[in-house]
Structure 1
Amino acid sequence: MNTSMSPAVSIVLGLVYLAVVIFEIAAYWKVFEKAGRPGWGAIIPIYNLYLVLKVAGRPGWWLILYIIPLVNIIIHIIVSLDVARNFGKGGAFGFFMVFLLAPIGIPILGFGSAQYVGQRPQQQY
């Protein structure tokens, strides 16, 4: 029994994957431009994560925290919530980006009507 895919199916799946990757890069490009950052940074590995941290209003050294297991999960949650807040979205949208579908959340910010409002002061309780 041959379990390998036919070449045609492989090509189609590869093209679909490539289209999704290009779409996500374009979405990050728009998000970065809306935030006053260089859009081309979306295509540079590691630098694009640095730009996400800057859009979130977090220091660049947090990049190191992304390589620490378990800590990176907490940092990603914080950064996603901050990005959502800096685009005028609520915490529910930030959690949507973290836990459900980040590949949908970023295009909503990039191609939608959301405007970068910048870093808002943290609330004091």
Structure 2
Amino acid sequence: MGLIAILFYILTVAAQWVVFQKAGIAGWKSIIPIYNSYCLFKIAWGNGWVFLATIIPLVGVIVDFMCMYKLAKSFDKGLGFCLGLFFLRPVFYIILAFSDDEYIGPNGNRVYVA
């Protein structure tokens, strides 16, 4: 069972790597634990520092949900995909990474981030 969990984790990291590359961020940044959250919020919100709000109890869950909604919108997806990202994040990261969806940026404005 542990081997399956490790393989699933590696596949999830690989998917996040591809999602980062689609958004114009170097894929290796998905490997570094707190920094990858910053980069994910930068992809979804356009401002990475919003991720600090996830530290606050209860507010963190709301901000995380909003991030998943904005991430889905950044790839031209809807509320259903947002719910999938929120509840089944690894599976929907894989779907997002290995589909031919393009990053359109927060609020439909393509932002090139480094």
Task: Using structure 2 for the length normalisation, give the TM-score.
Answer: 0.88
Q: Secondary structure at the match of 2:107?
A: coil
Partner residue, 1:103: 90
Residue in structure 2 matched with residue 38 of structure 1 by the alignment: 26
Aligned counterpart in structure 1 of residue 44 of structure 2, from 38, 56, 76: 56
Deviations along 1:60-113, whole A, 9 cap, x unmatched? Answer: 221211111101100011000000000011122112211x31111111111111
The Cα offsets for residues 26-73 of structure 1, whole Å up to 9 and x where unpaired, read as: 000000000001100111000100111011024222121111110110
Higher Cα radius of gyration: 1
Task: Indicate the structure with greater helix content.
Answer: 2
Aligned length: 109
2:57 alignment partner, one of 50, 69, 93: 69
Query: TM-score, structure 1 length as denominator?
Result: 0.81
The 3-state SS of whatever aligns with 2:102 is coil
Preserved CA contact (<8 Å) 2:41 2:49: no
The unaligned stretches of length 5 or more in structure 2 are 110-114
The one-letter amino acid of 1:43's match is I
RMSD: 1.5
Regions of 4+ moved over 6 Å = none
State which of 85, 106, 110 in structure 2 corresponds to 1:119.
Answer: 106
Question: Which structure has more RCO (C-alpha within 8 Å, separation ≥ 6)?
Answer: 2
Q: In structure 2, what is the Cα distance between the partners aligned to 1:37 and 1:76? A: 20
Alpha-carbon distance in 1 for matches of 2:9, 2:41: 21
What are structure 1's unaligned runs of at least 5 residues? 1-12
SS in 2 for 1:80: helix
Q: What percentage of aligned pairs have identical amino acids?
A: 39
Is the Cα–Cα contact under 8 Å of residues 54 and 60 in structure 1 kept in the other structure?
Answer: yes
Q: Secondary structure of the equivalent of 1:46? A: helix
Residue 5 (structure 1) aligns with: none
- Aligned to 1:21, what secondary structure does the other structure show? helix
C-alpha separation in 1, matches of 2:72 and 2:28: 21
